[in-house]
């Protein structure tokens, strides 16, 4: 593997002529650093030609499967030996998996066989079946059904909380905090579904685990988005406030960051 670290990707061309960023990218509104543009271009070339997995981005007419565009991210990093490379990540799952060559792993893999989540979901399925069965009888027991629904709700909440606690995020000082903790410290609401699986937290987590110094980041949308006209193929986007802001407040602690631009965050220019 390049540099001796899994997932660390070298640039194809010499980069000595490029100046390194003085501060880390302000994640919620930014102009991609030129080296991030090089990284994005290399990643996009890979996405166009790779044959290791199948995912329908909606870019090929007649391709089977549900169209699911994805957010991808790159993180410019420096090794302890002062070598410059980048990491790549995707948000959520890609082709039904959290693990693919050339991409950093998830902070936590909830799809592991025999995990508490799989067991808990099976229990919820059984509860749902029992409630449905009781409701189908004309002379059902409303009190029993209400009790089962309450038990199901409590079970679901406990399962969700336990899942959130599996996400333990690092910062450059090596300080580790759970997903629920960072949300409690930085917002009045709890984490929602999918929090912790976005590209930037995954990139930073791997960088800190491997002793890499984060220098800059960029995220872009790849594919079509049947659910929202906001996401445009090939456009750069800021990190999301809803899921990422509380997490990044912890992960970027102590890191010098670019000043917040005066303009509002939103969709940025398309990738060249």
For 187-237, write each residue's pLDDT tens digit. Answer: 888 888 888 899 999 999 999 999 999 999 999 999 998 777 889 999 999
Could you give the number of structural domains in the chain?
2
pLDDT attached to residue 121 = 81
Answer whether residue 45 is part of any domain. Answer: no
Same domain, 253 and 126: no
Q: In the listed set 166, 187, 212, which residue is the last one of a domain according to the structure?
A: 166
The pTM of this model reads: 0.87
Same domain, 198 and 270: yes
pLDDT attached to residue 236 = 97
Same domain, 269 and 242: yes
Going by the DSSP 8-state scheme, the letter that residue 82 receives in this structure is -
pLDDT attached to residue 253 = 96
Answer whether residue 4 is part of any domain. Answer: no
Answer whether residue 242 is part of any domain. Answer: yes
Same domain, 183 and 160: no
Same domain, 161 and 262: no
Helix (H, G, I), strand (E, B) or coil at 74: strand
Q: Which two tokens stand for residue 27?
A: 């994640």
Answer left, alpha or beta for residue 3, where phi above 0 means left and psi between -120 and 50 means alpha: left
Return d(Cα 222, Cα 65) in angstroms, integer. 16
Same domain, 104 and 122: no
Return d(Cα 129, Cα 124) in angstroms, integer. 9
What residues in the chain have per-residue pLDDT under 70? 1-4, 139, 263-272
Same domain, 99 and 201: yes
Same domain, 94 and 187: yes
Answer whether residue 44 is part of any domain. Answer: no
Same domain, 66 and 119: no
Helix (H, G, I), strand (E, B) or coil at 27: coil
Answer whether residue 217 is part of any domain. Answer: yes
Beta carbons within 8 Å of 258's beta carbon, 6+ residues apart: 21, 23, 24, 25, 26, 30
Same domain, 84 and 161: no
Answer whether residue 214 is part of any domain. Answer: yes
Answer whether residue 137 is part of any domain. Answer: yes
Residues 108, 59: contact at Cβ < 8 Å? no
pLDDT attached to residue 139 = 66
pLDDT attached to residue 268 = 55
Same domain, 124 and 240: no
Residues 189, 164: contact at Cβ < 8 Å? no
Q: Tell me which residue range forms the domain holding 211.
A: 24-34+54-108+170-272
Same domain, 103 and 114: no
Helix (H, G, I), strand (E, B) or coil at 97: strand
Answer whether residue 19 is part of any domain. Answer: no
């Amino acid at each position: 593997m390049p540099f001796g670290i899994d997932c660390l990707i070298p640039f194809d061309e010499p980069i000595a002529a490029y100046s390194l960023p003085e501060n880390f990218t302000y994640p919620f509104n930014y102009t991609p650093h030129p080296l991030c543009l090089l990284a994005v271009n290399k990643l996009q070339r890979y996405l166009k030609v790779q044959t290791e997995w199948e995912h329908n981005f909606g870019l090929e007419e007649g391709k089977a499967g549900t169209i699911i565009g994805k957010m991808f991210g790159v993180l410019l990093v420096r090794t302890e030996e002062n070598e410059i490379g980048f990491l790549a990540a995707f948000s959520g799952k890609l082709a039904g998996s959290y693990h693919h060559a050339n991409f950093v792993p998830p902070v936590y893999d909830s799809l592991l066989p025999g995990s508490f989540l799989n067991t808990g979901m099976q229990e919820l399925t059984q509860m749902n079946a029992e409630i449905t069965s009781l409701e189908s009888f004309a002379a059902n027991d409303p009190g029993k059904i209400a009790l089962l629904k309450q038990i199901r709700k409590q079970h679901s909440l406990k399962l969700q909380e336990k899942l959130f606690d599996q996400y333990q995020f690092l910062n450059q000082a090596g300080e580790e905090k759970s997903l629920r903790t960072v949300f409690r410290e930085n917002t009045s609401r709890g984490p929602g579904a999918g929090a912790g699986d976005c590209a930037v937290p995954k990139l930073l987590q791997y960088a800190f685990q491997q002793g890499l110094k984060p220098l800059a980041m960029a995220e872009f949308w790849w594919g079509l988005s049947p659910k929202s006209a906001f996401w445009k193929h090939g456009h750069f986007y800021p990190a999301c406030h809803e899921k990422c802001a509380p997490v990044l407040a912890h992960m970027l602690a102590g890191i010098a960051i670019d000043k917040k631009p005066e303009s509002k965050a939103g969709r940025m220019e398309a990738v060249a």
